[in-house]
Amino acid sequence: MNNKVIIRDLGLRDYQPVWDEMREFTSTRDNNTNDEIWLLQHPPVFTLGLNGKPEHILNAGDIPVVKCDRGGQVTYHGPGQLVVYTLLDLKRLKLGIKQLVTRLEQAVIDTLSMQQINAGRKPNAPGIYVDGAKIGALGLRVKRGCSYHGLSLNVSMDLEPFSRINACGFEDLESVQLKALLSPENQAIDFNLVKQIIVSQLERQLFETR
């Protein structure tokens, strides 16, 4: 069995085609298919998960809404947010869905810790938080023992669209981003460095930690 992971940097891509590609990849993979991690950004889009309620979209305006097959409620993706899709054979990795969620969250927490940012979890509210404000979101789908979709991390983006939704189904949930939390002498964001760090943390959590 193959345990190698392939990292793909896809740049800026529309949501729908990437979602289609994730489903195609998952439906056609077999026991020897490499796991993959896709790194990308999306143009502005609201996505509504399987449990999502349309009333949590308060004012979409000119931003499209896509109903998708991940878990969770509504969230926003836009330029300056790092999206990480984890296409993993969970049976091969011997991971359950709760373990996967915990390890994805921990990878983001450790990534932020390397920037001297103290992040954590909230009970019954998947994601990553800093002082009660949400900086990272998770949404997953598992089919045939394999996962797709993944996580997002607010790095350096326009947060205004989050005010148009009840993010993840919570009213008045504040959103925050990495740029705003850095010390004044370290305000410049190296997006590529953030990608490198999160990949290394994901590899450690998913493929090295047992």
Residue extents of the structural domains in the chain: 5-205
- Position 2 pLDDT exceeds 80: no
Mean pLDDT of 28-42: 97
- Residue of 48, 168, 181, 202 marked active site: 168
| Of 10-24, 81-95, 107-121, 169-183, the least confident | 169-183
Active site (annotated) includes residue 68: no
- Position 166 pLDDT exceeds 90: no
Residue 150 CA to residue 72 CA, distance in Å, equals 11
Q: What is the pTM of this model?
A: 0.94
| Of 14-18, 68-72, 76-80, the least confident | 68-72
Alpha helix (H) ranges present in the chain? 15-28, 90-93, 97-113, 178-181, 191-203
CATH topology of domain 5-205: BirA Bifunctional Protein; domain 2 (3.30.930)
Instruction: Give percent above pLDDT 70 in the chain.
Output: 95
- Give residue 37's pLDDT: 98
Query: 37 versus 172: which is more confidently predicted?
Result: 37
Residue 4 CA to residue 207 CA, distance in Å, equals 9
Residue 67 CA to residue 181 CA, distance in Å, equals 32
